[in-house]
Structure 1
């Protein structure tokens, strides 16, 4: 698709879209007449911008702050909202005292078996205070690390909020982790307690997590207290093995702990290319305020909206989705099962059942929905006002399909990219500007995003590194007890700026496109090319459902392109036929120098639970190198197919 095609297919806001938006209300509050002017204020006067945002979002403070930012320790270690005191959970629980929202649904949890449970904002506040009081009664203190391994739902939401309420630090764990992954994370942060589920259902079958957790706990002696959420299994409850429901019935006492904006409330681990996972540290005055901002500015969430973006609480998306809804007084709809169970209509039926206004999805799920379009679109999605996609790059065709099938062609799709280490958006879109399929129409306000070359110089209209030139609200406060790794990861590639590890391109009109991770870069015909650029072209072929492109060492060319393809459902051709079709299409779309050296057809690609394709793992396994940290891998059998491909 050419740049002119991107422009001609852009979503255009109506005057009503603009006038009714949160961005427009924020512009009026700042006294500016355009989004460009708002963006300029956010970067030139961030202290003015953030004061307006915090007021607009109704963030609750115990004590107002004196200074927006202190960088005396260096840009790498900023202090935010100096002098202020808050506990971000108060900003969620404030709606319990709002006459219009107190009896409104705060959380609606739908299980895979169809069971639906609801709690109001008033009930949520009582439950959080009760569970937090129960935690304190068990000796959980301010600053203690508490693991959280639970399927998405009301209990997980209450638990996370209660841990933060008490001043402790939550350590989210993916519900599909193996023993080693659980052990490494709990050990790394010296967790004192763990709140865990004994199991949940996925595709109609029970997933037993209790056995894994029991084994992990034998290797983590620092964990003194285990709190089980269970389905009536016999458990030997005693002083240090407790029942979740019993703690949830504790009589609420006291108020949320008053914290410094720089006090941690979460340590969340993200996989590195090699070595142990990195523990990003998020604080009361960082992550929640950034997410409240993004929910208002990028997602246009308002009081009374209904927000659903199925996500595991063990990844950053889980707490991001929860905060996006609850910080804004919107209803959070949780779903804990497979998105295609009992069939591919589940997501649209979910939207229909709960009259969801905001729906988010990873690109991989969107591709699965599109490949099963007849079923996927069976539900009534007319309630949708805005769609979101995030987690990895998305090709323009599937972006446009999502807008048409789930947004009726009238609702915008907000592309959103940030990462575990930065809380929310670096790049995203706003509803007051046109949106090009697959693109981002703005840098997130007050985040000094740039696209730079290896020397840190700005590049326009060509591929460069995505970088941030100044500290920004929401950035991790280093890695847990590992400043050197934090500095090496983000600040030392180009001294003086945060280099995020993504390849990006910025057009003259201010639209950005991501082209894959910079460490996934492939150099062909003397040019750097991102895997997403190749994969987007491959996905234009109707015979291909999914694609992953990697560069591997070649003694003659330096690197050659290897692609792994998952054929579309119903495809019955031969592997040679697929390779010929791929090469012919690449010749036309990108040129013969970009033709793949090898094409492999597989039944699945290695992915995380959040559906990100693990290209670095594919490259390592295919090249016979150590695979690195596999704790995030959801489908280990996919690696066997990569090894078989390498052996051929």
Structure 2
């Protein structure tokens, strides 16, 4: 019997499509409701209907209280592992049981109420990767406040726009964040943002970290530890506040926005049901097991799979304050997996490309006992086949690519391990998850035949957990996502579907380049470049050309230890693209660089590179990890064009 025949995926997916109300009503039985839904789905509510209309619930109760009541009080809920807190020495590890985490959350929620925060009020978190950030998120959920996490260290101007949009009553922050070899002071950035913002909060609660303390502004700023200790001593404790399933849990601003930002809204009920369903059915993880998502709480992946998903499911979740390499070496991930007995790990492909570059033979992997480790999940950008193949060969476990977006909050396309893994096809994140009807369409929203490149869209209504709207911007939400392809949600990604229903996501629609009338995928070209044995990672972008409209340019980062002449390797990859795609690709320019500019979540800043190459005006992206890289790219492009 084949793996596919063993999988329950086809029948489960078909049921979710034919009877969505029944399917999601069944899934909702895994959530503790204060009042059940009057309607599983109400098509008359919101922009395209709302899930679990009329239901009353509390997300924090489902993440903590019910597990303590059900016998998980002494199970570890959260492991905080920070190599950055002790450079050169053993990682600093702190653990919280479900009972301990609940006590911290009850206490902080009571402190928030003392500051006048109530149901529906917004709270901004501008925090590093510390346990207090998880406590603050859950404390907001406990009292019905709407949190908005802004990536720690984000530029003051960008933070100010988010403060003005959310209008928070309270801000949580810290004195600093930690990066390899440096300390990032958060307080000056927060102070500057509050000077720029017109909607400043009444109070800020600041966590003083031992690595770098900061000055507090009298009357506005309050010391987190002092407040927490006083509330603990006074035995203050906030109960769970009932909220509607359709009430907002959080706002998350999409990365890279300027001007008025797009605040993706996540509701309580659909989010609970979707994440609980996904933890076993998609990721194959059982309550009580150790799960690790190597993201940051500033991103949707961190919200869904560091904080909410694993805790709702009753697993042990790891919060990691470190990097894939350099903290202290390319074995950092394997140390965490071995030490904490992780069964499944979720990270971005860029992390694996960094490890592959530093440790191409996987020598560090052999130093650790990974016998408990079952599955590696990749998402956040396209998982190029050479990286997936390297990970499969080195780890000898399934390597599962999957695809989703900030707007959806959980996987659109994946390989459902809990339902029985489907065969892997390199280059594809596999198939649409139950609840998502994913189509490939042309400009007129007509479905295209198998194998034809087009826009990837999702038929409305979206399943539970997806955005109901943008924060106070219904019309902008319709314009951004629903108007262009009537009856569909526009993903802004391009790709194709094969005869088996496997979906291939080849890049953002603006990454499809038009070379003399031929629509070509930059993702397809990157796949070819990455297959060269000396290439660690790469990026392909279309640059303006007076004759062909656009021509592709490839940037190459070579593996550590490669001593061959970069010019020779560049010639070889040009020949490789010509051999695989033919002369129609017009691929003639490959440039070796030391590193690629990326966001902190690992996405390559292709749009900015293209503007530099085309000589257009550009601004420093707010989400960039290291601004110096763009200077290097500018210099490399200038010398070759």
Same-fold call, TM > 0.5? yes
Residues in 2 aligned to 1:101 and 1:175: alpha-carbon distance in whole angstroms: 31
Query: Match for 1:93 among 58, 61, 64?
Result: 64
Which position in structure 2 is the counterpart of 1:403? 392
* Deviation readout 1:102-133 (Å, 9 max, x if unpaired): 10100011112211111101111111111111
Residue 337 of structure 1 is matched in structure 2 by 322
Given that 1:316 and 1:423 are in contact with CA atoms closer than 8 Å, whether structure 2 keeps it comes out as yes
Provide the residue aligned with 2:158 in structure 1: 181
Q: Shift in Å at residue 235 of structure 1?
A: 4.0
Matches within 5 A, 1:558-597: 558-597=549-588
Selected match of 2:36 from 53, 64, 78: 64
Are positions 1:106 and 2:106 aligned together? Answer: no
User: What is the SS of the residue equivalent to 2:364?
Assistant: helix
Report 1:627-638 matches (<5 A).
627=618, 630-638=621-629
State how 1:210-609 maps to structure 2 within 5 Å.
210-220=187-197, 222-231=200-209, 233=213, 235-236=215-216, 238-249=218-229, 250=231, 251-271=235-255, 275-321=259-305, 322-340=307-325, 341-371=327-357, 372=359, 373-406=362-395, 409=396, 411-431=397-417, 432=420, 433-459=422-448, 460-472=450-462, 473-524=464-515, 526-609=517-600
Report what 2:49 is aligned to. Answer: 78
TM-score computed with the length of structure 2 as normaliser = 0.92
CA distance in 2, matches of 1:134, 1:125: 14
Matched residues in 2 for 1:349 and 1:213: separation? 34
Q: Does 1:37 align with 2:15?
A: no
Taking the TM superposition and a 5 Å limit, the aligned residue runs for 1:61-210 are: 61-72=33-44, 76-98=47-69, 100-112=71-83, 113=86, 114-210=91-187
Q: What CA RMSD, in Å, does the superposition of the two structures yield over aligned residues?
A: 2.2
Aligned length: 616
Q: Is contact 2:256-2:622 (8 Å) kept? A: no
CA contact (8 A) 2:552 2:586 kept: yes
Query: Secondary structure, in 3 states, of the residue corresponding to 1:559?
Result: strand
Q: Report Cα offsets for 1:22-41 as digits up to 9, x if no partner.
A: xx8xxxxxxxxx43121111
Q: Tell me, yes or no, if the aligned pair for 2:279 and 2:310 is still in contact at 8 Å.
A: yes
- Is contact 2:187-2:214 (8 Å) kept? no
* CA drift at 1:629: 7.2
Whole-angstrom CA distance in 1 between matches of 2:446 and 2:539? 30
TM-score, length basis structure 1 = 0.91
Distance 1:389 1:44 in 2: 30
Alpha carbons 2:536, 2:558 under 8 Å: kept: yes
Q: Distance in 2 between matches of 1:46 and 1:561?
A: 43
Q: Which runs of 5+ in 2 are unaligned?
A: none
Contact 2:177–2:183 (Cα < 8 Å) also in 1: yes
Once the 2 structures are TM-superposed, how far is the Cα of residue 628 of structure 1 from its aligned partner?
Answer: 5.7
Aligned 8 A contact 1:298 1:428 in 2: yes
Aligned 8 A contact 1:515 1:530 in 2: yes
CA distance in 2, matches of 1:217, 1:272: 20
1:414–1:430 CA contact under 8 A, matched in 2: no
- When residues 273 and 202 of structure 1 are mapped into structure 2, their CA distance, relative to the original with a 3 A threshold, is closer
Q: CA deviation at 1:468?
A: 0.7
SS in 2 for 1:334: strand
For residue 71 of structure 1, report the CA deviation from its aligned partner: 2.2
Cα deviation for residue 480 of structure 1 reads: 1.7
